[in-house]
């Protein structure tokens, strides 16, 4: 009999190689902060001859790994980078010089680096040395990849994602959907991706361990504990086996935190507000934070009630569960948010739940 052969043809244009860069960059998800995730491929005669990504702040940039991988084949090749190559001496030397030294003939850039010490200077340097530079290929994809990094570069504050779970009868509840916290679950992945998670003190009593990502090899987020109204001492739940003791406690008094652990940072503020928390965390190098809104937390409701809180939150993730909740407690977002809508909605459905996310 005859058999049919299907060949999937993918046009290998600039966008194709840029998507490859983004894919490479994402291999370091959760590991690069406060630096961005960056991927780079070197292409010669339609073939990828070198590739690399930025693994971690302090380590070489994506371009350096890709050029090393390509070796002498980089000469007269085209380099694709998801972020503008840097032109400054930071923890590592400038990537523009590495590209010039390797004699690449063209550089295709996903997006300009919002970092004021780079911003377009990398592109200028390359052009001045006679390299052809194209900017803005798959730009939206590259921006989404580093939405947290970009936000902190532009505002000084971390990118904040509000997360909550809705019941069938439309209440914000405390529990999460089945599997959400396990390896591969959306909550576990979220915690791998974000630098910190805010935990209010009135939730501490209801949980046995501090939340952790269960993804293999995941970096764990800072636990940002809000001890609002706590006057003398605060009892922390156990750290889960995967957690690291990366804990920042915000208090309004000189409180004692138990159990005593090395590395706990206690920050005393005259008045705890979402903006004061975010200012501190932004300075501290955190680029992204999950504001995990659990039903029944008055502490979180108060934080979000703050008049300007709505401008401080960039994204919302809602998990909708088919269960009926009879528990008392907070069931609505603060009315101060009434003028807001969500943009660019995306959803995912499983048998157990629906996940909806959108930008504020
Ligand atoms: C690139 N390629 O892969 C990355 C870039 O302290 P450093 O030396 O690592 O510099 C950090 C800054 O460099 C960071 O804020 C951002 O502007 C840029 N990151 N640039 O060309 C990369 N990670
Ligand atoms: Zn660089």
Return the residue matching tokens 């959907």. 177
- Which of 36, 42, 135 should be mutated for ligand 1, with most atoms under 8 A from CB? 36
Region of 43 (left: φ > 0; alpha: ψ -120 to 50; beta: rest) is beta
The reply to whether ligand 1 has any atom less than 6 angstroms from the CB of 98 is no
320-341 average pLDDT score = 81
> What is the pLDDT, as a whole number, of residue 328?
65
Q: Over pLDDT 70: what percentage of the chain?
A: 95
What is the phi/psi pair of residue 351, to 5°? -65, -25
86-107 average pLDDT score = 95
Residue 1 contacts residue 120 (beta carbons within 8 Å): no
Model confidence band, residue 204 (pLDDT cutoffs 50, 70, 90): confident
Q: What is the pLDDT of residues 209-236, one digit of tens each?
A: 888 999 998 999 999 999 988 888 888 8
Q: Over pLDDT 90: what percentage of the chain?
A: 69
The SS3 of residue 69 is helix
SS (H, E, C) 212-261: CCCCCCCCCCEEEEEECCCCCEEECCEECCCCCCCEEEEECCCCEEECCC
What is the phi/psi pair of residue 127, to 5°? -65, -40
Q: What is the pLDDT of residues 135-182, one digit of tens each?
A: 999 999 999 999 999 999 999 999 999 999 999 988 888 889 999 999
34-56 average pLDDT score = 97
Among 10-19, 122-131, 320-329, which stretch is predicted with the lowest mean pLDDT?
A: 320-329
Among 46-60, 160-174, 243-257, 283-297, which stretch is predicted with the lowest mean pLDDT?
A: 243-257
Model confidence band, residue 237 (pLDDT cutoffs 50, 70, 90): confident
Catalytic residue, from 23, 63, 124, 346: name it: 63
> What is the pLDDT, as a whole number, of residue 5?
79
The SS3 of residue 277 is helix
Alpha carbon nearest to ligand 1 atom 10, residue? 90
Q: Please give the angle made by the CA atoms of 326, 330 and 231, to the nearest 5 degrees.
A: 125
39-47 average pLDDT score = 96
Report ipTM for this prediction.
Answer: 0.98
Give the side-chain half-sphere CA count within 13 A for 119: 7
Ligand 1 centroid to Cα of residue 50, in Å, is: 19
pLDDT surpasses 80 at 296: no
> What is the pLDDT, as a whole number, of residue 162?
94
**Beta strand 238-239 pairing with 343-349:** unpaired
Distances in Å between the Cα of 169 and the Cα atoms of 165, 320, 324, 331 are: 12, 10, 6, 10
104-126 average pLDDT score = 96
Whether the link from the prior residue into 259 is cis, omega within 30° of 0, is yes
Helix axes 62-70, 14-25, angle to 10 degrees: 110
Model confidence band, residue 243 (pLDDT cutoffs 50, 70, 90): low
How far apart are the C-alpha atoms of 310 and 287, rounded to whole Å? 18
Nearest atom within ligand 1 for CA of residue 40: 3
The reply to whether ligand 1 has any atom less than 6 angstroms from the CB of 95 is yes
> What is the pLDDT of the chain when averaged over all its residues?
91
169-196 average pLDDT score = 93
Look up residue 14 and give its two tokens.
């600039």
Return the residue matching tokens 């290998």. 12
Q: Is 138 a catalytic residue?
A: no
Residue 25: name the closest of 144, 112, 107 by CA. 144
> What is the pLDDT, as a whole number, of residue 221?
94
347-354 average pLDDT score = 91
């Amino acid at each position: 009999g005859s058999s049919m052969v299907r060949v999937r043809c993918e046009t290998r244009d600039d966008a194709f190689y840029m998507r490859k860069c983004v894919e490479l960059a994402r291999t370091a998800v959760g590991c690069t902060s406060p630096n961005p995730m960056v991927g780079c491929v070197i292409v010669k005669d339609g073939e990828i001859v070198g590739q690399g990504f930025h693994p971690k702040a302090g380590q070489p940039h994506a371009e350096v790994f890709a050029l090393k991988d390509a070796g002498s084949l980089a000469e007269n090749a085209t380099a694709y980078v998801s972020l503008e190559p840097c032109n400054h001496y930071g923890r590592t030397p400038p990537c523009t010089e590495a590209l010039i030294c390797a004699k690449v003939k063209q550089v295709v850039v996903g997006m300009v680096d919002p970092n004021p010490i780079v911003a377009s200077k990398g592109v200028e340097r390359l052009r001045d040395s006679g390299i052809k530079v194209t900017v803005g290929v798959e730009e939206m994809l590259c921006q989404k990849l580093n939405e947290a990094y970009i936000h902190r570069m532009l505002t000084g504050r971390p990118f904040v994602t509000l997360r909550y779970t809705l019941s069938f009868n439309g209440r914000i509840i405390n529990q999460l959907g089945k599997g959400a916290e396990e390896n591969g679950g959306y909550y576990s992945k979220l915690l791998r991706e974000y630098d910190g998670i805010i935990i209010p003190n009135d939730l501490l009593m209801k949980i046995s361990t501090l939340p952790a990502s269960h993804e293999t090899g995941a970096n764990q987020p800072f636990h940002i504990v809000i001890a609002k109204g706590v006057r003398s001492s605060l009892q922390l739940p156990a750290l889960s086996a995967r957690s690291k003791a990366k804990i920042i406690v915000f208090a309004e008094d000189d409180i004692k935190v138990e159990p005593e652990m090395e590395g706990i940072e206690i920050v005393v503020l005259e008045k705890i507000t979402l903006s004061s928390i975010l200012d501190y965390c932004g300075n501290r190098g955190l680029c992204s934070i999950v504001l995990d809104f659990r039903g029944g937390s008055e502490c979180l409701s108060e934080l979000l009630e703050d008049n300007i809180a709505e401008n401080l939150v960039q994204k919302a993730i809602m998990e909708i569960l088919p269960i009926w909740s009879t528990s008392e407690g907070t069931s609505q977002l603060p009315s101060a948010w009434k003028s807001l809508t969500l943009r660019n909605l995306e959803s995912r459905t499983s048998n157990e739940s629906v996940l909806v996310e959108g930008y504020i």
